[in-house]
Amino acid sequence: MAVSGLILGLMWVLWLHQPQTAGLLGGAVWVIFVVLPLISFRRTQVLAAQYRFQAAARCAYFGRLFHPFDGWWIYPGYLRALALAQFGRPEAIGHFERLKNTTSGLGQAAYCNLFRVKGDWEGLRRWVEQDITLENLSRYPRLISFYLQALGETNALNAMVETMDRFQSLLQKMGQIDWNLGRLIVFTYCGQPAVVSHLLQGTRTPRDRRFWLATACMAAGKPEVAQADIDEILDSGDLLYYQTLQARTQWSRSKSDLSDRSHALLRQWRPDVDRAFPSVTTSASLKTSPVTLVLIGINLLFFLREIQGGSLDILFMLNSLRGISTPDQMLLAHQEMLIQLGALVKYETVINGEWSRVLTATFLHYDISHLLFNMLGLAILGPFVEKQLGRLRFSLMYFVAGVGSMLLVLQGLDPRGLALGASGAVMGVLGAEAVILLLQWRRKPSRFAQRRLRLIGIVVASQTVFDLITPEVSFIGHISGLVLGFVAGLILQIRRGT
């Protein structure tokens, strides 16, 4: 939030001194210090939840270059320590020892991992119960999963289920990753490998999946089924599991260990497991979002047609990148080419038969920076919304926002001006994501939805300032696209049965 405020302040100062370039420079700063860290943060969280710690550490190192706040300065070191432990490197213990003295929540997580690599789950349980205390555990939510596993490893199954029930609402508010991890631990140590296998689909490393499935089989009284996986993990030397597995001799659980209340709670959570999967760790990506990829491809093809318009237009593009002013005759030639390709022009031209312009204009862009900003936004926002709405509904929402915003811009378009760009459609995708998150928040509050909604508010505020201080940018096109996307997303999501 503070970073976004600084960026807005910078844009205001630039507008006072260099109004012609304030929007472009402010937008570039916003992409570098807000968008890139956001992408890095989301990717790091997914990789860490999948136990791909080495890749997560690399991603976190990149993110902290542009956002060294909120614990991100030490987070890559924590992930690096986990990666070293995963590869059986003893120096991981030294990293955890240094990190445990930090005042952040990562320091406590590092201390928990020291118990973990030593296989001292009894010690971890005592530390939480005596030093942290269960009454204060809600103040340190990242410790809950460690404590649940300590209870499972020390055969305190009913206490584990009761603890899960006690902190259920808190885990849900933290987000689906933490909630699913809690359920994974509980169902594992209660000996339900079928549910565990369901929770692990598409997530985590193969070795991590082997650990949880082998543990669930052992807890179910079937150690012979788990033995091959246990041997493979021990041979790897992975410090995150080695001492824990070595300590298990004749280790098994049976359902008779559970109270009637524990059985009732497990029955209550089980159908929820089936509905909630897949988790955030299998969240949509660009490569699994064909409609978003096709839309980006169409925009790129239209831009290639612009470049093929002639050497004057190529020079215009190069000058735009270099920040060099372009002669008026070149600008006029470039605009004429855009009009020929289908840019939105004066009202009379459109209503006299050239209605296709309200569609073609959504795929044309004035220059390469215009294209890159819009395609970056579509690549970031599109996969999530496409996954939530489905391909057909996502396509319908995109064109409703894009074409609808062009129609509204047309009403007030200067007879000598033109309008073009995917900005209205991209803002529509942002509006659709906002309504999806609001509906999810209404059904089940979570920190994930809260963070994303806060970010959307920041984006809308930044975009509004950008529009108001940049005369060439259409405020009506952006705000109408946002509203149309929100309304279309609301209707389509409700009809989908959310």
pLDDT, tens digit (0-9, with 9 covering 90-100), for 109-153: 999 999 999 999 999 999 999 999 999 999 989 899 999 999 999
Q: Is the pLDDT of residue 169 over 60?
A: yes
The band of 415, judged by pLDDT with boundaries at 50, 70 and 90, is confident
Closest to 290 measured CA to CA, from 354, 382, 362: 382
d(CA 184, CA 195): 8
| Whether the model pTM is above 0.75 | no
For residues 188 and 227, membership in a common domain is answered with: yes
More confident call, 352 vs 188: 188
- The residue among 221, 256, 282 that closes a domain is 282
For residues 130 and 228, membership in a common domain is answered with: yes
Residue 28 located in a structural domain? no
- State the catalytic residues: 423, 478
Q: SS3 for 58-100, per residue?
A: HHHHHHHHHCCCCCCCCHHHHHHHHHHHHCCCCHHHHHHHHHC
d(CA 168, CA 179): 8
For residues 332 and 278, membership in a common domain is answered with: no
6 DSSP assignment: H
List the structure tokens of 46: 């997914």
For residues 290 and 275, membership in a common domain is answered with: no
Residue 248 located in a structural domain? yes
**Can you tell me whether residue 106 is helix, strand or coil?**
helix
For residues 276 and 315, membership in a common domain is answered with: no
Per-residue pLDDT, 146: 97
Closest to 269 measured CA to CA, from 400, 164, 368: 164
More confident call, 331 vs 196: 196
CB neighbourhood size of 290 (10 A): 11
What would the mean pLDDT of 368-373 be, rounded to a whole number?
80
**Is 306:365 a contact under the CB 8 Å cutoff?**
yes
Residue 293 located in a structural domain? yes
List the structure tokens of 468: 């108001």
Q: What percent of the chain has pLDDT over 70?
A: 81
- The residue among 282, 312, 333 that closes a domain is 282
For residues 362 and 407, membership in a common domain is answered with: yes
Overall domain count for the chain: 2
What confidence tens digit (pLDDT) does each residue in 274-327 have? 554 444 444 567 888 999 999 999 999 998 888 776 544 555 555 655 555 556
Per-residue pLDDT, 354: 87
Counting Cβ atoms within 10 Å, is residue 415 exposed (0-12), middle (13-18) or buried (19+)?
exposed
Per-residue pLDDT, 281: 43
The band of 105, judged by pLDDT with boundaries at 50, 70 and 90, is confident
d(CA 300, CA 365): 10
Closest to 388 measured CA to CA, from 245, 473, 460, 291: 291
> How far is C-alpha 56 from the geometric centre of its chain's CA atoms?
14
Chain-wide mean pLDDT for the chain? 83
User: Which of 228-237, 364-373, 438-447 is modeled with the greatest confidence?
Assistant: 228-237
Residue 309 located in a structural domain? yes
More confident call, 114 vs 473: 114
- The residue among 255, 282, 309 that closes a domain is 282
- Give just the sign of the alpha carbon dihedral 128, 132, 134, 140: negative
For 182, residues 6+ apart whose C-beta sits below 8 A from its C-beta are: 144, 145, 148, 164, 167, 168, 171
Q: Is the pLDDT of residue 256 over 60?
A: no
**Is 362:424 a contact under the CB 8 Å cutoff?**
yes
**Is 106:76 a contact under the CB 8 Å cutoff?**
no
List the structure tokens of 28: 């570039």
Closest to 469 measured CA to CA, from 11, 3, 7: 11
What would the mean pLDDT of 47-63 be, rounded to a whole number?
89
The band of 418, judged by pLDDT with boundaries at 50, 70 and 90, is confident
Q: What are the distances in angstroms from CA 44 to CA 14, 48, 239, 362, 382?
A: 33, 6, 22, 33, 19
Here the CATH number for the domain that contains residue 372 is 1.20.1540.10
For residues 400 and 448, membership in a common domain is answered with: yes
More confident call, 494 vs 131: 131
Residue 21 located in a structural domain? no
Q: What are the distances in angstroms from CA 148 to CA 153, 154, 252, 284, 465?
A: 9, 10, 17, 29, 47
Residue 408 located in a structural domain? yes
For residues 326 and 453, membership in a common domain is answered with: yes
**Is 405:430 a contact under the CB 8 Å cutoff?**
no
What would the mean pLDDT of 385-396 be, rounded to a whole number?
93
Q: Give the least confident one: 129-133, 342-346, 478-482.
A: 342-346
List the structure tokens of 329: 């005759």
For residues 267 and 293, membership in a common domain is answered with: no
For residues 269 and 316, membership in a common domain is answered with: no
Q: Tell me the residue range of the domain where 406 lies.
A: 286-496
**Can you tell me whether residue 119 is helix, strand or coil?**
coil
For residues 278 and 376, membership in a common domain is answered with: no
What would the mean pLDDT of 434-461 be, rounded to a whole number?
78
More confident call, 331 vs 102: 102
The band of 84, judged by pLDDT with boundaries at 50, 70 and 90, is very high
What would the mean pLDDT of 424-444 be, rounded to a whole number?
89
**Can you tell me whether residue 342 is helix, strand or coil?**
coil
Closest to 137 measured CA to CA, from 156, 118, 151, 119: 151
> How far is C-alpha 282 from the geometric centre of its chain's CA atoms?
11
d(CA 210, CA 188): 12
The band of 497, judged by pLDDT with boundaries at 50, 70 and 90, is low
Residue 449 located in a structural domain? yes
Closest to 370 measured CA to CA, from 417, 310, 317: 317
**Can you tell me whether residue 444 is helix, strand or coil?**
coil
Side chain identity at residue 453, one-letter code: L
What would the mean pLDDT of 458-485 be, rounded to a whole number?
79
Q: Is the pLDDT of residue 38 over 60?
A: yes
367 — phi, psi (to 5°)? -155, 180
* Whether residue 278 has a cis bond before it, omega within 30° of 0: yes
The band of 441, judged by pLDDT with boundaries at 50, 70 and 90, is confident
List the structure tokens of 265: 């709670």
Closest to 13 measured CA to CA, from 25, 30, 28, 31: 25
Rounded to a whole number, what is the distance in angstroms from the first to the last CA of the chain?
Answer: 30
Residue 216 located in a structural domain? yes
Find residue 344's DSSP bridge partners. 419
For residues 188 and 158, membership in a common domain is answered with: yes
d(CA 279, CA 202): 9
The band of 443, judged by pLDDT with boundaries at 50, 70 and 90, is confident
Side chain identity at residue 51, one-letter code: Y
Side chain identity at residue 131, one-letter code: D
